[in-house]
Amino acid sequence: MKLIFATKNKNKLAEVQDLLAGTGIEILGIEGEFNPEENGETFEENALIKAREAAKIMNMPAIADDSGLVVGALGGRPGVYSSRYEQTDEKRISKLLDELKNTKAEERSARFVCSVVIVSEKGEILFSTTQTCEGQIAFSPTGYEGFGYDPIFYLPEKNATMAELTMEEKNKLSHRSKAFKKAMEWLLRS
């Protein structure tokens, strides 16, 4: 079974290919221009926009995710604006740490959220799920693995940030792996 993964993010593609290795489900990266307007109000709406655009371009069934960081002390920001919060990972991290500079440890709870949507080649919704990974915003960045906000996303049960975990460890607990596992279970059943 082949599906187009509606992303230009090579890290995400690698994470998801790792997750689906050995299942017989082949995830292909998208080729050429791909700039869908992510103007949805929820992660699910944005995932659907991306999946439909990829299905249209490639004329194949498509899978898409939309994810982001929801910070309690910031009323849920940056949320669906996580990638647009600043221009680079480094700037996103320093802006977030700055916004939380007067926030105490016990008020720094945060969650990564990921919605995954699968559409047919015509763009009809076949499957949709939203999953989370709970943690806290650290006071400074640690670790070099992963991408995005990983260096400041602290997982109390691991006593480590997401960026200190290997891809294999991250794939056991991340929001995206939980959502893609649900999608994979659905794909294997259908």
Nearest to ligand IMP of 1, 18 (CB atom): 18
Number of H helices, E strands in the chain: 5, 7
Cα distances from 98 to residues 101, 103, 138, in angstroms, run 5, 10, 12
CB of 41 to ligand IMP, least distance (A): 14
**Residue among 51, 190, 50 at smallest CA distance from 118:** 51
Name the segment binding ligand IMP (CB under 6 A); options: 25-33, 59-67, 119-127, 134-142.
59-67
66 is catalytic: yes
Contact between 53 and ligand IMP (CB under 6 A)? no
Q: Which of 18, 66, 89, 98 is catalytic?
A: 66
CB of 133 to ligand IMP, least distance (A): 8
Amino acid identity of 41? E
What is d(CA 143, CA 186) in angstroms, rounded to the nearest whole number?
34
Q: Which residues neighbour 190 within 8 Å (Cβ) at sequence distance 6 or greater?
A: 126
Nearest to ligand IMP of 52, 92 (CB atom): 92
Contact between 149 and ligand IMP (CB under 6 A)? yes
Footprint on this chain of ligand IMP (rule: CB under 6 A): 9, 65-69, 82-83, 92, 112, 146-150, 162, 174, 176
